[in-house]
Structure formats: structure tokens, C-alpha cells
Amino acid sequence: MNEKSSEKKVRHVLGLSGGKDSTALAFYLQGRVPDIEYFFCDTHKELPETYAYLKKLEILLGKKITLLESERGFDHWLNVYGGFLPSPKARWCTKQLKIIPTEKFIGNDKAISYIAIRADEDRVGYISTKPNIKPVFPFMKAGLVKEDIVKIIEESGIGMPEYYNWRSRSGCYFCFFQRKIEWVRLSEIHPNLFERAVRYEQEHSDGRKYSWNQEESLRELIKRKDRIIEDHKKMMELKKKNLPNRPLMEVFDSVLDDEAEDFCFVCNL
């Protein structure tokens, strides 16, 4: 095999999350990286806004987004794990629904994996331990920060994902990394999904009860809804004073970042 044909075997892959950063990276790499493959790890439990956004993205990119794990979503794996809900300390969901499918998709091929970490972020994202997968960070390399990413999104014509009005990150509607105010907003904007999240806490054949949030169940949380909204408003007021003339979305984002204890490096790019 000559050098040229072995070079051809290197795949270029970009995992999309339905969030702004990976979306912006897809547009940024258009024309820069030919033959890039887009994929999305489908838990079957994303917000409807995310699925709609991905469809729009596929049209604008003019290229198929491969859905991974489209035949076995969260419920399949919940069953395998005996009904044990995932949590920040037991993140089987990320492993089974994101990491393993991604590594299977790439297999033993040599691949360059494009990761949408920005230059203004203090995190590394998920890096595969497989030696055939080489991570690269185009935004970090080019020194692009949040403002640049917003500009790319605006110029591409896709706009921000709709859920950014009430939630700061992509991921499953019941993601345990959500802030309290995001649970409240979920109950208002998607009451059916909130109820489904409650049912995941309550319905187990052996009578066990779990909660998404370590401190309280969703029923308990929602009883304190007014207080949570009030606290959030106060935080927003404080933040607005520190971030004058900034768009409301940025203020909201910043408040949630302050409250963040953790989030998913794999799901929320």
C-alpha cells in the first residue's frame, strides 16, 4: 500500500450534541476539512428542540448526520442496569450511549476527532483513550471564544437552539446535571416530559425509588417552584449588574455556570 492510499484512510469525525459549540464547529470546518463525517449519539431522550435543530443543521450543512445507537436508546440500557438511574457518580448513560457508540463508529480506523472546546473554556472534553483516535481542538487553536461562536452561528443562518431560552445545555430532558430552575422550566415548557422524568423516579418493579437530583425528588422540587424562581430572579438581577449591556441569554448562561457543580463533557458540547 503506498503512502497516499494509507493517508486516505484517515477519517475526520465531528460529534454533534445539538448545542451551539459543536454546531458552530460544523460550520467552521466546512470548506476547511473535506469529507468530514458528522454523527450524533441518540439517547432517544433529547428535547424535541434538539431533534428539530439537528434536522435544520443537516439541511444547512447539506450532509447527513449519522445517528448512533438509534436502535437502542436509554430505556434499553436502563433495563440492562436493572432500573438503576444514572447519576453524576454513576454515569453509565454517557458510557453506553455516547462513548461506546462513538468508539464503535470509528472502530480501528485512524481518525481525527474534532472537539468544540472554546479558547475561553477551562476544560478538556472527553478524549478517547484509543490510540487510533486523535483529538484536535480547532477553536482553541484559533483562539475562538464564546462571542466568535455566537457570530458563526448567526452568520450560518441556523440561529441558537430554541431551548437556550430556558436551558443552558443540550442533553437528555431528564439530565441529572440540570439546575433546579431548568427542572422548573422543563415542567412549564414540556410538562409531558417533566411527568415522564417523574415516572422514571417512581416506577420500578421492585418498589425502589430513585431521584434524578441527589437532594430531593422532582415532586419535592416542584413544590418549591416559587422559591426557586424567586432565587433565580435575584441571581439574574445581580448578574445583570455585573454584566451590563449583555444579552439576556448570556446573563442566564452565566448564572447557570455559577450554579454548575458539574456537567457532561461528552453530551454538552
Which residues are near ligand SF4 by CB under 6 A? 43, 86, 91, 93-94, 97, 171-172, 175, 177, 264, 267
Cβ proximity to ligand SF4, 113 vs 178, nearer residue? 178
* Secondary structure letter of residue 162 according to DSSP: G
In the sheet with 111-114, reading across from the earlier edge strand, the strands are: 65-68, 36-41, 11-16, 111-114, 133-136
- Tell me the C-alpha distance between 99 and 14, whole Å: 13
By Cβ distance, which residue is nearest to ligand SF4? 171
Write down the least CB distance from residue 170 to ligand SF4, Å.
7
In whole angstroms, how large is the CA radius of gyration of the chain?
A: 19
Write down the least CB distance from residue 172 to ligand SF4, Å.
3
Write down the least CB distance from residue 266 to ligand SF4, Å.
7
Cβ proximity to ligand SF4, 23 vs 43, nearer residue? 43
Contact residues for 150 (Cβ-Cβ < 8 A; gap 6+): 20, 160
Residue in this structure with the C-alpha cell 450524533, named with its chain if needed: 40
Write down the least CB distance from residue 110 to ligand SF4, Å.
27
> What's the start-to-end Cα distance of the chain, in Å?
37
Write down the least CB distance from residue 112 to ligand SF4, Å.
24
Cβ proximity to ligand SF4, 147 vs 195, nearer residue? 195
Write down the least CB distance from residue 97 to ligand SF4, Å.
5
Cβ proximity to ligand SF4, 215 vs 262, nearer residue? 262
Cβ proximity to ligand SF4, 170 vs 187, nearer residue? 170
Cβ proximity to ligand SF4, 29 vs 125, nearer residue? 125
- Tell me the C-alpha distance between 65 and 62, whole Å: 10
- Three-class secondary structure assignment of 170-230: CCECCCCCCCHHHHHHHHHHCHHHHHHHHHHHHCCCCCCCCCCCCCCCHHHHHHCHHHHHH
